[in-house]
Amino acid sequence: MRILLVGDVVGRPGRRALRLWLEENRERFDLCIANGENAAGGFGLTEKIVNKLLSYGVDVITGGNHTFDKKEIYQFIDKYPLLRPANYPNGTPGRGFLLLEKGGVKVLVVNLMGRVFMECLDNPFKRFDEIYEEVEADVTIVDFHGEASSEKQAFGFYVDGRATAVFGTHTHVQTSDLRRLPQGTLFITDVGMCGALNSVIGIEPKEGIERFIKQLPVRFKVPEKPQLIQFNGILFELNGEFKVVNFERIFEVYERREDGSYTRRESPV
């Protein structure tokens, strides 16, 4: 079984990069999990965009601190394989984990959010324990949406040998530490993003710079027609015992042509 984990999809450029890569590589994976909390203009999700992501080949959409930015999500969050962090308080709309079956394999997808420099939710470490004890699965994948590298890494070691893979999201910058931990869990601090390459974590550089210089609120905008867009993800393979045997980081760049379409660059830089 081959599983693809995709970083935060940011706005239209991110959706385009996601679609292009999935179209070109559909035969390389059996299951795709993507973080979609920034897919609608950088903030939240709409039902139309959820359906687009699913039509591209995404099987499960995970979330984070921007999940509820679009209030319309309350109307459809339970209709789709769409997750919000499981450590939101009891009674929060939506669900934080999903058990699905692919080719006879039971796959548990868990979405959690860190608490360092983030909204103060329930303890993600303890919430994982509860879910892991409650749900029986062959494979367990965790999207840990967090700001602090230390918190993500601590969580990785905490679930090492229990989770099949832990992929960090939220910072939008792909880290180079993809590896198997001592007990076999595949881990990366942050898988990165799908979005405009020459941007500040997916938004126009001008707005990002202005916020740091003036220390005032700035309305962030996603670039409309960026020359370069990127796809970030990790792809790994499981053997018959559901152990990770092969894995790779993916960083692909697509360049805009004169007709408005995009073509893959041989080198990402």
List, by residue number, the catalytic residues: 66
- Is the Cα torsion angle 166, 247, 234, 1 positive or negative in sign? negative
Q: How far apart are CA 7 and CA 151, in angstroms?
A: 18
- CB 244, CB 164: distance < 8 Å: yes
- CB 70, CB 44: distance < 8 Å: yes
3-class secondary-structure state, position 52: helix
3-class secondary-structure state, position 17: helix
Q: How many residues does the chain have?
A: 269
Q: Are strands 179-180 and 165-169 parallel, antiparallel or unpaired?
A: unpaired
Task: Dig out the tokens for 118 from the structure.
Answer: 């983030």
**Unique residue bearing structure tokens 């992929």:** 167
- CB 2, CB 28: distance < 8 Å: yes
Angle at CA 189, nearest 5°, toward 188 and 190?
Answer: 90
Q: How far apart are CA 172 and CA 126, in angstroms?
A: 26
Closest listed residue to residue 81, CA positions, set 58, 49, 64: 58
